[in-house]
Amino acid sequence: MPVILRPDEVKAKYGPLFCRGFYTMVDEDNGIAQIVEVCSSRGPAEWDIVNRRRTGGIIKDIDLDGQTLIMDVEIGEKELRFGPVSANLGGQGVSSLKVEGDRVRTVWKGLAGASVGIGACIPQCPDVIETVYPDDFKLGGAHAASVEIVTPKMVRLVIGIDDTDTKDKGATWVVGMKLGRACPYGKFIEHKIIQLNPNAPNKTTNCCSTAISFAATEEEIPKIIEFAVDFVRKESYSEDAVITVYKGLKIPEPLSDFGWSAKTVLYERETAIKLAEENGVQIISVTGMGGVIGAVAAIGCFDMGVRSAGVPSDFE
């Protein structure tokens, strides 16, 4: 019979290990998900990247931000490719992700030392609900192991912000960072500074908006939005502060195109508002509407990596 253990029971059985965060965000409309794993050290995270890439499975892309692993995966199931090389190198991978109501179930497999990571380290993270072990499970050594890790179903919530400052006071990117760190709901994941057109007539100094993302359950989303609106209102020195909200792991192409072109083109507010309405972006006037272009562009640029922080000429 399979054995089901809670994180505290895994910790009691195997001793304290190193996973500091483990979140699964799903985007069922696009058939994709993102697994975020916060490690205690960069070394194991680097090893995990190499071995998870080698085995393939449902992984589409995997990256490392400091000590945080960010895995883009497909919803569904695919065979892992351990191959003969694994006898010498070991291996680890995720072969399945399924959404079950308000839970997500992932299937992990590991060889040798990699079995400790998927069998004892991740399962004792407090973000995990439970882990299902087969009755023949053995940890470490030369053993191969497979477990099912169950976590809360979460989604990605991206919040764009612009025009909280004046020429004399404040910085919008600071408001965004403080908001992400202060919010008691969800899990603060990323913070971005979005460079926009420096020739904008109503800019303060650098003409930057900002955006932050959270991993959140559906129940937490309205609480995060309410907290964000109140926080930005209290922190804003401007009468033009705007918040935008987008839920999902895939930014629509028209939004990305708008975000990139807003670095060189001067748009009218109506263009940004129409684009937001057509692409699932909620616009919230906090103290005004002057920041709507930058706040919509912040959503569009969120997944551009370092390009979000520059203008096109920086990358020619």
What pLDDT is attached to residue 81? Answer: 82
- pLDDT above 70 as % of the chain: 94
Mean pLDDT of 21-35: 98
**The predicted structure's pLDDT at residue 145:** 83
Q: What is the DSSP string of 259-286?
A: HHHTTT----HHHHHHHHHHTT-EEEES
The confidence score (pLDDT) of residue 136 equals: 84
pLDDT digits (tens, 9 = 90+) for 96-130: 999 999 999 999 988 766 778 889 999 999 999 99
Q: What is the pLDDT of residues 274-310, one digit of tens each?
A: 999 999 999 999 999 999 999 999 999 999 999 999 9
Asked whether the predicted pLDDT for residue 142 surpasses 80, the reply is no
Alpha helices in 24-118 (DSSP H): 42-55, 86-89, 114-116
pLDDT at 4 over 50: yes
Distance in angstroms (rounded) separating the CA atoms of residues 238 and 255: 25
pLDDT at 140: 66
pLDDT above 70 (res 90): no
Amino acid at 241: A
**C-alpha to C-alpha distance for 223 and 246, rounded to whole angstroms:** 15
- Distance, CA of 100 to CA of 316 (rounded, Å): 46
**Kind of pairing, strands 187-195 and 32-38?**
unpaired
In angstroms, the Cα distances linking 55 to 72, 80, 91, 131, 141 are 14, 5, 7, 22, 20
CA R_g for the chain: 21
DSSP-derived secondary structure letter, 102: T
Instruction: Give per-residue pLDDT as tens, 170-216.
Output: 789 999 999 999 999 999 999 999 999 888 766 566 689 999 999 99
- pTM surpassing 0.95? no
Q: Would you kindly state where each structural domain of the chain is located, as residue ranges?
A: 3-152, 155-315
pLDDT for the residue 198: 84
The candidate with the shortest Cα–Cα distance to 209, out of 307, 104, 291, 144, is 291
Q: What is the pLDDT of residues 171-181, one digit of tens each?
A: 899 999 999 99
pLDDT (tens digit, 9 = 90+) per residue, 12-27?
Answer: 999 999 999 999 999 9
Res. 85: pLDDT tops 50: no
Task: Tell me the pLDDT tens digit for each residue of 221-273.
Answer: 999 999 999 999 999 999 999 999 999 999 999 999 999 999 999 999 999 99
Q: Which CATH number fits domain 155-315: 3.40.50.300, 1.10.1760.20, 3.10.20.30, 3.30.70.2200?
A: 3.30.70.2200
